[in-house]
Amino acid sequence: MQTAKDERLHELTLAYIDKSQLQKNGWLMAAVAATLGIFSETMDSALYLGLLPLVYLIFDLPFQLEKRRILERYLSKDQVMTQSMLWLGIQIVLYGSLLMVILETSDLSLWKMTFWVILILAPIYFVTDWLFKKMARSGDPDFVSDQEVHKHVKYLEE
């Protein structure tokens, strides 16, 4: 017998696999790379590096929207809205932090820039991830994190 958490994990895994097919289409990735290549010729390289996480968010958005639709079957609209807004807020904080670090360290060598990115963003990432999970689990005992979904996808692919 499946628990509610197992059922939700299964649904989210299927949604992730379905939505990740978008990422596996080579022509789409080539179009994004070409677009970024055009921007790299007209923009500062620091701003170009700042666009790369934005591409990830664009490709992750279909899964997040599907995840929200699935969660609406299990949670109240307020809980789903809280989780969605919290996820969006965290993405804005992480993206803004990355962009600020890249812009501030753009005159340094690539190794020094990478060092500062890791030194500043790693703690911010782990704190925001912990905060998101803690807040989501406080209102949802069957909460399934994106990391659990990714692990389950990897397990099914083996």
How deeply is 21 buried, as exposed, middle or buried, from its count of CB atoms within 10 A (0-12, 13-18, 19+)? exposed
Write out the two tokens for 121.
Answer: 């963003």
Q: What is the pTM of this model?
A: 0.76
Count how many domains the chain has: 1
* pLDDT of 45 above 80: no
Mean of pLDDT values over 138-155: 84
**Which stretch of 34-43, 49-58, 73-82 has the lowest confidence by average pLDDT?**
34-43
**Digit-coded pLDDT (tens) for 14-24:** 888 777 665 55
In whole angstroms, give the CA distance from residue 62 to residue 46: 27
Full domain range(s) for residue 132: 4-157
Query: 130 pLDDT band (50/70/90 cuts)?
Result: very high
Sequence-ordered strand ranges (E) for 109-157 = none
In whole angstroms, give the CA distance from residue 86 to residue 65: 14
> In the predicted model, what is the mean pLDDT of the chain?
80
Closest CA to 55 of 16, 13, 9, 98: 98
Mean of pLDDT values over 97-109: 84
